[in-house]
Amino acid sequence: MHILCLGGGPAGLYFALLMKLQNPAHQVTVVERNRPFDTFGWGVVLSDQTLGNLRAADPVSAQLIGDAFNHWDDVEVFFKGRSVRSGGHGFCGIGRKRLLNILQERCMELGVDLVFETDVQDDQAIAAQYNADVVIASDGLNSRIRNRYAETFKPDVELRACRFVWLGTHKTFDAFTFAFEQTEHGWFAAHAYKFDENTSTFIVETPEAVWKAHGLDQMSQEDGIAFCERLFAKYLDGNPLMNNATHVRGSAIWIRFPRVVCERWVHEAAINGKQVPIVLMGDAAHTAHFSIGSGTKLALEDAIELTNCFAQHGDATAALQAYEALRSVEVLKIQNAARNSTEWFENVDRYSGMEAEQFFYSLLTRSQRISHENLRVRDAAWLQGYEQWLAKSNAAHAPPPMLLPLKVRELALKNRIVVSPMATYSAVNGVPQDFHLVHLGARALGGAALVFVEMTSPCPEGRITPGCPGLWNDTQAKAFKRIVDFVHASGAGAKIGLQLGHSGPKGSTQVGWEAPDEPLPTGNWPLLAASAVAYGPTNQVPQAMTRADMDRVKAEFVQSTRYAAEAGFDWLELHCAHGYLLSSFITPLTNQRTDDYGGSLENRCRFPLEVFSAMREVWPAQLPMSVRISAHDWVPGGNTADDAVAIARMFKAAGCDFIDVSSGQTTRAAKPVYGRMYQTPFADRIRNEVGIQTIAVGAISEVDHVNSIIAAGRADLCAIARPHLADPAWTLHEAAKLQSRHVNWPQPYLSGRDQLYREVAKQKEMAAQAERGQATANK
C-alpha cells in the first residue's frame, strides 16, 4: 500500500513505523507542518500498562522510549496545609520532544519518508500527489480533515469549564504531584511531574469564573505566569515557571479543554479514480482530559489497533471497519473515565469540605476506573491506614467501607448495603403475599442493612400494574406487618423500608414479564398526571390533576404513611422519579401547567413537596425519610444535574434525610449514557454540594464498587438490585470473599447470624479457591 499520514505527532509517526515493520514493501510517508525539533508541549505521561503494549508492538522503539522515561510510583497531594502520599501507581514521564524524536529516528531507520515544514491545505490534492491508498488524518486537535468531512465524522466538540496553562519548571518532583491552593475567588490546582533529569511539567487549572475574577483574562503571558509562581511558590523552591508557547499572544495560553467525540472515524473520497479511505487517528478522532494522561496513550494505541486490523484482515475495508468498531468502544471507555476526572477538577470546591485523607482517596478514584481493591494492590499499607481512619478505629484491621455502620436520625444501620425496591408483580388486590414474605425475608437474612419493599401505591388507581402492592386498607397493612415483624425477629439485624409512589401516567400497564409499560389489554383504569401528556404513543392520555385531585391524592399518601408506621416500617421513601405521578410534575417534559404548579422548577416541585411535608408530619420523627428523584431526564429540554441539585436542596429544606439518586425513565425518549456506576456522579454531586446524604443506585454490581463509592464520599448508602435477585445473600457472600482474601474484621460490624452465615460462605469460598488452585496445578 501507499500510506500517507498527515500529521507527525505520536499517532502518525507510530502508525507509520508499525506498518513499515509489518510489510517493508509498503510505501509510507508522514507529512508534518513543523520542523523536526519543534514542540509546543512539555512532558507526556504513560502508564506501565501502555508501555507493555508498546513493547509488544515494537520492542526496539519501546526500549528507546523506556530508557528515556522517568518512572515513579507515588502520587502526592497537597491540600489545606497537609500532604498525603501513596505508592504503586506506576507512571512514566517523557519529554514530548524526546518522544517525537525517538519515533522520527525509528521511522527513518525503517525507511519511512518524513516530510517536514509542509502545511497541508488540501488532503485530497496531496493524497493524489503521493498516489495514496490510505490517508491517516493524524493532524491533531484542530484537524482540518475532520472539519472538512464533518458530515461523515459527525464530530461533537465540547469545551470544558476550566482554564488551564501548560508550563514547565526546573523543580523536579519525585511523585506525580497535585497541589491545591485556595484564593479569595476559588481554587487553583497544579498537576506536576518530572519528565527528564532537570525538568517537570507544571499545569495550572482553575474554573473560568475564578480565572476571570483574578483578571487573568486581561493579563499578559508574563504577568499570568508570575501570578502562578506566587500562588504555588511553596512547591517550586525558587524555580521559575517556563513557557514554550510564546507564539501565542497574551492570555490565550490559557485554554479550555476541548472534548472531541466522533461518531464515525472513516471517510471515503474518490481520488485518482479510486476510493481512498481517510481515517481519523489520535486527537483528530478523540481527546481525553490531561488529568488522566491519556491523549498520547490513545494515539499510540490507535496506531497499534489499526496495524493489527490490517494484519488480521486481508481486505482494507474490513480492516478499517474492525478498527472503527474496536477502537471507538475502547476510546469511549477512556473518555467516560476522563469526563469523570475532568468534572472532579472542575468542582474542587465541592470536595473542599473533606479532610485531606478522604480528599486524596476521592482524587485517586475520581475516574471510577481505580477501585478500592485496586488501591490495595497498589499500596496495601496506605489503604489499611485509610480504612482505619474511615472507621475511626485503631484496630489492626478495620472493616471495609461497605460494612461501616450508619445512624440516620435514631435508626442504626449495620452496614451500607441496601436492597433496592424491585417490582415483582405478585400482589393480589394490592395485598402482599407469601411470595413477598419469602422474597423480602430472604434478602433481610442475606446481610444487607436495609431492605426496601417495591413501590407501593396509596390508592388502587396509583398502581403500575394489577400485580403491584398497595397500602390503602387494613388488610394490606396487616400483610405488610407480618413481613416487617419477620424481618425484625429474624436476628439478622436488617431494617425494612417502604417506598410509596403513585404511578400517574405510567399506570394501568401490563406486568413486567408480559409487555412492560404497555396498557392492559382490557380493564384499564383512568390515569392522573401533572398535565394531559401520555407517557408514550401507546399509553393512554392522563387527566391533568385539579386542586381537588391534589388534595385527595395528598390525603391518600398521608393515610398510607400512617399505615406504614403502624406496620412498623423503619424507613419511608417517597418516589418522585421515573415518570410516575410526582415525577410528572417535576420534569418540564411532562409538566405543561400554567398555574402555580407549572413553569419554574420551584413551581414544578410544589406539589411533590406538599406531599412530602404532609407525610413527614405524620411519620415518626425518630425515623428517616428519603426521596427518590430522577437526577437527569437524558432528553434535550429536560431536567439536568443542575436541576437535581436544586431539587435536592428543596427536599432537604422540607426535612428529607436522604436523596435516592436515580435518573431517566421520565419519558420513552430518554437516551441515558449507560456504564458501570453511571448514576453515581449525580449522587456524588448532590451529597457534596447540597450537604445531604445520598443513596447511589444503578449498575453497582460489585462489592468493589460499593467500597469505592462509600470510601470516596460519593454516597452514604449503595442500593443493589439485580445482584440481590440472583443471590439473596449477596452481601454476606461478598463479605466472605473479601475476608478469605484478607483478614478477620472486628465483631461489631456483623450480627451473630451474619457471622454464622458468613463463616459458612467463607469456608465455601476458601474451598473453591483451593479447587481452582488444584485445577490450575493439574493443567
- Dmax of the chain from CA atoms? 86
C-alpha of 382 from chain center: 24
Amino acid occupying residue 779: K
Using CA atoms, how far residue 728 sits from 175, 205, 359, 658, in Å, is 44, 47, 34, 24
What span, in angstroms and rounded, lies between the C-alpha atoms of 616 and 618?
A: 6
- The 10 Å Cβ neighbour count of residue 516 is 14
The runs of H, that is alpha helices, within 69-219 are 96-110, 123-129, 144-148, 150-153, 208-213
Cβ distance 155 to 2 under 8 Å?
Answer: no
Among positive and negative, which fits the CA dihedral 188, 683, 587, 156? positive
Please report the DSSP string for 402-435 in residue order. Answer: GG--EEETTEEESSSEEEPP------BTTB--HH
Give burial (CB, 10 Å; 0-12/13-18/19+) of 197. exposed
Cβ distance 265 to 152 under 8 Å?
Answer: no
580 is catalytic: yes
**And the C-alpha cell for 181?**
491552593
**And the C-alpha cell for 149?**
468531512
Give 727's DSSP letter.
-
The runs of H, that is alpha helices, within 313-415 are 316-346, 348-351, 356-364, 372-378, 380-391
Q: Is 398 helix (H, G, I), strand (E, B) or coil?
A: coil
Cβ distance 693 to 683 under 8 Å?
Answer: no
Long-range CB pairs of 373-381, under 8 A, 24+ apart, other chains included: 373/704, 373/707, 374/704, 375/86, 377/88, 378/86, 378/87, 378/88, 378/89, 378/90, 379/86, 379/87, 379/88
Q: Where are the beta strands (DSSP E) in 140-198?
A: 155-169, 176-182, 187-196
Q: Choosing from 580, 597, 749, 757, which is the catalytic residue?
A: 580
Please report the DSSP string for 48-83 in residue order. Answer: HHHHHHHHHH-HHHHHHHHHHPEEE--EEEEETTEE
What span, in angstroms and rounded, lies between the C-alpha atoms of 175 and 341?
A: 19
What span, in angstroms and rounded, lies between the C-alpha atoms of 467 and 657?
A: 30
What span, in angstroms and rounded, lies between the C-alpha atoms of 258 and 267?
A: 22
Among positive and negative, which fits the CA dihedral 126, 132, 138, 144? positive
Helix 730-741 to helix 752-778 angle (10° resolution) is 60
Residue closest to 39 by CA, chosen among 114, 91, 100: 100
C-alpha of 128 from chain center: 44
**Positions marked active-site:** 580
